[in-house]
Every structure is written in structure tokens, then in C-alpha cells.
Amino acid sequence: MQAKTDPIECKRAARRQERRAAIVAVAQRHFTEYGYGATSMSAIAAELGGSKTTLWSYFSSKEELFAEALEVWIRDFSPISALKPEADLRQTLLGYGTEFLRTMLSSNIATLFRLVIAEASRFPEIGRIFYEHAPLRRHKVLAAYLDGQITAGRLRPVDSLRASAQLHHLCIYRLFMHSMWGLDPDISAEAIDREVGEAVDMFLHGYAMEGPPAR
């Protein structure tokens, strides 16, 4: 027999979750507009119309609040499509790389990268939080897939996490970096497909047991 859910407690939990989401939304705007260093818990509390004590009851530090804001920011950064171990290796990497590059070229991710790059030298903790919550997570997802391909004999035995990072960087090197530098690159579907195709083929030339299949 299931225990009855207290409707009052449910409403309280829902209100608390809504309040938490509102705090994070305001914090994201402050981090984006003023940077991590210039953002204060006092200013966030003032905009929300509450006290710092209330804000502290949700987040014990600015670092914790930034980590939560980052979690919301990077939901789009997480892989969407599954990496199926039995599917064609090259086609799987092409699909993954295309999704990844499109995500990296989105305005939300570009804004986040600029924020972290601008502030990380003064506040190393945000660089660590960002790396652990975003790039490293993605690298581990792809590394697990690469491990399976190594076991299946399709890839040479290598450090899969290192290889994963290399493929990610190959995919973003030109279009994403040019975008970050304000060079207004061609980010059409055709340009993205070409960029990812070259990155994947270069990767497979280095790691595939027999090189990339002929197209």
C-alpha cells in the first residue's frame, strides 16, 4: 500500500523549486552581464526582493550558485543521440560530431564559453566547475563508446579519454574558434558537414585499424 502524498508538502516543494529556478535565472543574467567576479549574492538577493539569508538557504556560496547555473546552461551541451556500438563507426562519429558542433555554435554555449574564458584566470574555480560539468562529461561519454570500438577491434588500443578529447577539438577547431573570435564563419549545414567529415576522417586515419572507409 502506497503512502499518501501530503498535498501541502507537495505545494511547498513546488514553490521551493520555482523559487530556486528564479534565483538561478537571475544569477545567470548577472554572471553574463557583470562576470563572475563582479556578481554578488547581495545584488542577486536585492533583485529577487528577498534577503541574503533566504538566498543562502538555497545556495551556500556563489560558487555553488554558479555550478547550478552552469547545470542549466549546459543541458543543451549533453549528447542527445545515442552512440550505438553496433552501428557503422564512421557514420556514428559523423552524427555525433555534427550534433556536437551545432551545439557549440549555439548562442547559449558561445556566451558561456566567453564568460568562463574571461573569468577563469582570476577565478580558477569557475574553470574547474565548467570543465567538470561540461567538456569532461562529454569526453567521458564518447570515451566509453570508443572503448567498445577498441574491444571490437575497430580502433587501435589507445587512451580513449585522450582520443575523445582530440576528436572533440578537431570538430570545433575552425568554425567554433572563428565564431569566438568574431570572424563570422559560414555555419551552414553544408559547412558543418564538411568540417565534421574532415575531422572524423583525420581521427580515423590516426586510430582506425584499417583507416576510414572509402566514401
Q: Give per-residue pLDDT as tens, 35-52.
A: 888 999 999 999 998 788
Beta bridge partners of 208: 155
Where is average pLDDT lowest: 39-53, 147-161, 183-197?
Answer: 39-53
Split at pLDDT 50, 70, 90, the class of 76 is low
Residue 214 pLDDT:
43
How far apart CA 104 and CA 160 sit, in angstroms, is 22
Largest pairwise CA distance in the chain: 64
Q: What percent of the chain has a predicted confidence (pLDDT) above 70?
A: 93
Are 65 and 24 in contact by the 8 Å Cβ rule? The answer is: yes
pLDDT greater than 50 at residue 176: yes
Domain 74-207 part of CATH 3.40.630.30: no
How far apart CA 161 and CA 104 sit, in angstroms, is 20
**7-60: which CATH number, 1.25.40.10, 2.40.50.140, 3.30.450.20, 1.10.10.60?**
1.10.10.60
Grid coordinates given for 83: 552512440
Q: What is the average pLDDT across 162-191?
A: 94
pLDDT greater than 50 at residue 60: yes
Q: Which distant-in-sequence residues (6+ apart) come within 8 Å of 62 by Cβ?
A: 36, 39, 40, 41
How far apart CA 102 and CA 193 sit, in angstroms, is 10
Label residue 122 exposed, middle or buried (CB < 10 Å: 0-12, 13-18, 19+): exposed
Residue 170 pLDDT:
97
pLDDT greater than 90 at residue 79: no
Q: What percent of the chain has a predicted confidence (pLDDT) above 90?
A: 54
pLDDT tens figures, 86-142? 999 999 999 999 999 998 998 878 888 888 888 888 888 888 888 888 899 899 999
How far apart CA 161 and CA 17 sit, in angstroms, is 36
Mean pLDDT of the chain: 88
pTM: 0.78
How far apart CA 51 and CA 53 sit, in angstroms, is 5
Domain boundaries, the chain: 7-60, 74-207
How remote is the C-alpha of 61 from its chain's centroid?
22
How far apart CA 205 and CA 213 sit, in angstroms, is 10
Residue 8 pLDDT:
76
